[in-house]
Amino acid sequence: VKVVGADDAPGAVSIDRDSGDALVEGAAGLIIGSVSSVDPDGSAVAFDLTENSSGKVAMSSSGVLSLNDVWDYEVDGGDISFTVTATSGGLSSEAKVFSIAISDLNEAPEFGTGGQLVASDSVSEDSEFSYDFTSANGLQIVDEDATDGFADLTFTLNEDAPAWLSIDISEGYVKLIGTPATDADAKTHNVVLTASDGELSNDFALALTVTRTNDAPVFSIAADDKEISIGAGEVGSDIL
């Protein structure tokens, strides 16, 4: 009598990475790890990705797991879960659930979503100037890693920015304000506003042109003058 052993299901599925090592959020193609299983009969083992709730995990025929889309920590969360089953000879292993931690990658603050980082504007001498960084003009300053808007960001102007220009955040958003008051201000100023989270930063460049206005003549009187003219259109003199 010839006794033939029964075919056995593949063993438990394992993954070739330390479960305590976190992945860092990243682009499509990021390798998560490779799964493996041993068939007691020595038969070839195939793997099935039986559960993939995020839809962002892909598995090759050899069991290599990777991201098939960008993983955004702020949107997708800090944990990725999927289930893998090993199959051989029509028999399957017990489904193995994997949960992998995803770490947040610090990202530089941005001026809007894809907003332009170079702009130009103008203001007349002696007029108030304001340049607002809000969602209305597509330049709202965003820090994907912040939990309280831009409260953790610092803002600075370059050394070439005019002294009359300052940064104001009193209304809940960032804006540049100031009033050019002299003829010397009448030129194009190359202004750079930098937003920094302490590690990464981004710049916004503004070519700000101040146009000169025609100012009325101003009379100056020496202390020993005895006679002066009154303003234009008036007749007569004033004897001191």
Helix (H) or strand (E) holding 74: helix 73-76
Summarised one tens digit per residue, pLDDT across range 147-205 is 666 778 899 999 999 999 999 998 888 999 999 999 999 999 999 999 998 999 999 99
Helices (H) and strands (E) in the chain, counts: 1, 20
Is 16:34 a contact under the CB 8 Å cutoff?
Answer: yes
What is the per-residue pLDDT for 220? 64
Q: Which residues pair with 182 in a beta bridge?
A: none
Q: Collect the ranges in the chain with pLDDT lower than 50.
A: 1-4, 232, 234-240
206 to each of 38, 121, 157, 161, how far by Cα in Å?
63, 7, 11, 10
Please state, in angstroms and rounded to a whole number, the distance separating the CA atoms of residues 223 and 110: 58
Q: Is the pTM of this model over 0.85?
A: no
pLDDT of residue 28: 82
pLDDT value, residue 4? 46
